[in-house]
A and B are shown apart, each in its own frame.
Chain A
């Protein structure tokens, strides 16, 4: 860690703040924290993905990995705490109170900022879910610290600063963002951007229980009801094994059916690139990329998608990427493993038929021919 020679004065020039001059009162901030997100009794898998990443950062820094669990007292919180240790936590910080039964910004922001101010972590990571982004924005503003949204890569550099990389300019370039002189350094990461760490059975370790600083009467917002999504409407894109997606190369909204057909022939999920959502051709929950879903399937087939960075960061975790595009110089061929230079509209029906034929064969022996 570099020690400033002079007391940190308010930055004089516009760019002076790009030097690391961590104020004295922030030097006590240590350890990496991950927020373990629960909604309605379920821990969101992104929390475990972040634990894997948090573990790496903590080991590099030589500090502890803390798991933050907020919720109503009872089995749910206890279960999440126990799991957190199996995913690498050294310590768990828990605020358990009936006021925290359902997510409400006011109560959760209070709990989280209170924990941070009391136990002082240097890094705080949250999932970029609807809950995580709502909470992170409020917490960062309350603490007046920096927050990098939707990071696609996290690292600590030589002087121990968090380097958070994310797409920028509408997803055309990547940038690396630092919060040098404020603590904690906060970042959110989308589900599936980081790989799931291996769970190792471990006993519950140290648990710090902290009291919530607000009571129900302090909270203005009341939950009237919760309407769960119907399963039939739920696109399970993020966790699908095979995904087929279409882009502007399809030419018309009607041709998107060709993508759906191929997906159906393989039992795959279907998705699309951002322009199709912006044009209103496909519903937004099918969007793949930086501002949509991040996927890590075993096979990803991209049809008529050019491969802008904002799309690339959402699919790079796929084991095998097959791209179909008429333009052999399309950026998608820079990160696809297998390419076909042809018109997707013509090719997709043939591929659908070929897959159907091959997969409906009765034995594997027959398939070999």
Chain B
């Protein structure tokens, strides 16, 4: 069995700072991490491999420095890492990204064996679109199952997979066939600690590096900015409300909590009666 896991190296978003004057992102010195949602996908893929045999290949598209995230994935226990890196990919939106990744997955299939499963995280923490997974699935003609909370059953011989999928108001249990693409939900498992053996292997391992051409891209106009139908015209910081917050302080001899409550009910006169009615109902 062969499983491809798509990961993304993202800035540790808790650390992003916006320049106060120019309103641009200050990227310098921001540490990068594997997109946290992708770790649930990687762990789930490795669990299936550990149980049923086979290999896990991690794939990412990004600048040469994204190799760090791939090595980290090898440390966790992935068998192989492929980095798709080329200036032609710069400026890709989700459609162009899904084209590049789908092309690379086809190439991975030709080179290392056709994948039975492709795993992704639910979304990335920098883009937050959740669109690349479905995009890859559609481009490769794979069944797509997103927001997966659990792989309930897996039968490699029958080539079927049963998944619990988060839906509005409940959980869908659905059965599908391989090959398919699974986008894992957060908190569905916990990434294992990398073993010393894997750490040593990861340090020595060769990360496969492909340019667009190496990956088999024929039509460069489908990559990067040119291949992106969406155009970001303006990036800006939202303006502050014209009126700043009114700061409440404790009145002389009074209590701050009561002062706040008086202010709240003065501004929302009907709220007090409604909350009182609710409180009586308890």
Contact = CB atoms under 8 A, between A and B. Distances in A.
Interface of A: 10-11, 14-15, 17-18, 37, 39-40, 42, 44, 102-106, 109, 129-131, 133-134, 136-138, 140-142, 144-150, 163, 167-182, 220-229, 241-242, 266-267, 275, 278, 280, 283-284, 290-291, 298-299, 309, 312, 319-320, 322-323, 328, 333-342, 347, 350-351, 353-355, 358-361, 364, 367
B16 A334 contact: no
B170 A227 contact: yes
A242 B225 CA distance: 44
Given A144-B95, A278-B36, A170 B256 contact: no
B65 interface: no
A137 B261 contact: no
Contact of A40 (B94, B169, B187): B169
A335 to B, nearest CB: 5
Given A138-B144, A223-B174, A322-B264, A172 B25 contact: yes
B134 to A, nearest CB: 3
A180 B232 CA distance: 11
A276 B279 CA distance: 29
Interface stretch (B48-56, B202-210, B245-253): B245-253
B7 to A, nearest CB: 17
A141 B98 contact: yes
Given A170-B10, A337-B245, 11 more contacts: A17-B226, A141-B134, A170-B16, A175-B234, A176-B234, A221-B176, A224-B174, A242-B275, A299-B268, A359-B275, A367-B272
Contact of B244 (A18, A222, A229, A333): A333
Contacts of B135: 137, 140-141
A295 B267 CA distance: 19
Contacts of B247: 328, 333, 338-341
Interface of B: 10-11, 13-14, 16-18, 23, 25, 36, 91, 93-95, 98, 123, 125-135, 137-139, 143-147, 162, 164-177, 186-187, 221, 224-226, 228-238, 240-241, 244-248, 255-258, 260-261, 263-264, 267-268, 271-276, 278-279, 281-282
A359 B279 contact: yes
Contacts of A340: 247-248, 256, 260
A339 B162 contact: no
Given A144-B229, A222-B174, A320 B138 contact: no
Contacts of B236: 173-176
Contact of B126 (A130, A136, A170, A278): A170
Given A175-B236, A298-B268, A169 B16 contact: yes
Given A105-B145, A309-B238, A137 B173 contact: no
B147 A134 contact: yes
Nearest to B102: A141
B72 to A, nearest CB: 18
A130 B146 contact: yes
A179 B229 contact: yes
A100 to B, nearest CB: 14
Given A322-B264, A338-B245, A359-B275, A226 B257 contact: no
A290 B261 CA distance: 28
B279 A360 contact: yes
14 contacts: A39-B168, A40-B170, A137-B130, A147-B131, A149-B128, A222-B174, A284-B186, A291-B123, A319-B268, A338-B247, A338-B260, A350-B255, A354-B257, A364-B272
A171 B10 CA distance: 13
A322 B264 CA distance: 8
Contacts of A353: 257
Q: Which 5 A-B pairs have the closest CB atoms?
A: A137-B134, A170-B13, A146-B229, A339-B245, A354-B257
Contacts of A10: 221, 226
A321 to B, nearest CB: 8
Of listed B93, B257, B268, B273, residue having the most chain A CB within 10 A: B257
Given A140-B95, A354-B255, A225 B173 contact: yes
B268 A320 contact: yes
B235 A173 contact: yes
Given A179-B231, A312-B238, A328-B247, A138 B134 contact: yes
A144 to B, nearest CB: 7
Given A169-B25, A354-B255, A11 B226 contact: yes
A338 B246 contact: yes
Pick the most buried of B133, B176, B224: most chain A CB atoms within 10 A of its CB.
B176
Contacts of A106: 143
Contacts of A150: 128-129
Nearest to A167: B128
B276 A333 contact: no
Nearest to A359: B279
